[in-house]
Amino acid sequence: MQVETMRDLSSLVRSTRLSRGLTQAELAARLGVSRDWVVRLEQAGTRLEVQKVLDVLVVLGLQLDVHEAAQPSASSSTPAPRATAAPEPPEGKKPPPNDSTPQGRPAKNDPFAFLTKRT
């Protein structure tokens, strides 16, 4: 599934949770968050802590696979995809987190920084 917006990510989380047979309360308990937090995530809420969103993907057996976006052609009006959801890698093969800007400073005020590869 292509993940380009928070709504896309929210839909992916909800559909995966349901396919795993988990309630919002069960997912919340596994994450150590409130059910309300899970509801806000599934409704594409803003101001959600990025690490907790990433934790949801791990609990649901999903991995965020980030690719460099292709340069759109001059005739294209559709933005290039920013990220896709991929199956969880084999045990012990998780990629390192990218929690800094290209200049090595922590990313600020960008709740979707983990969705784009910075070069």
Q: Give me the residue spans of the domains in the chain.
A: 2-70+79-115
CB 63 within 8 A of CB 57: yes
CA dist., res. 70 & res. 94, Å (int): 24
Q: Domain 2-70+79-115 has what CATH class? A: mainly alpha
pLDDT tens digit sequence for 44-101: 988 899 999 999 999 999 988 888 877 765 555 555 555 555 555 555 555 445 444 4
Give the 3-state secondary structure of residue 10: helix
Least confident of 35-39, 73-77, 102-106, 113-117: 102-106
Consecutive H or E run containing 87: strand 83-87
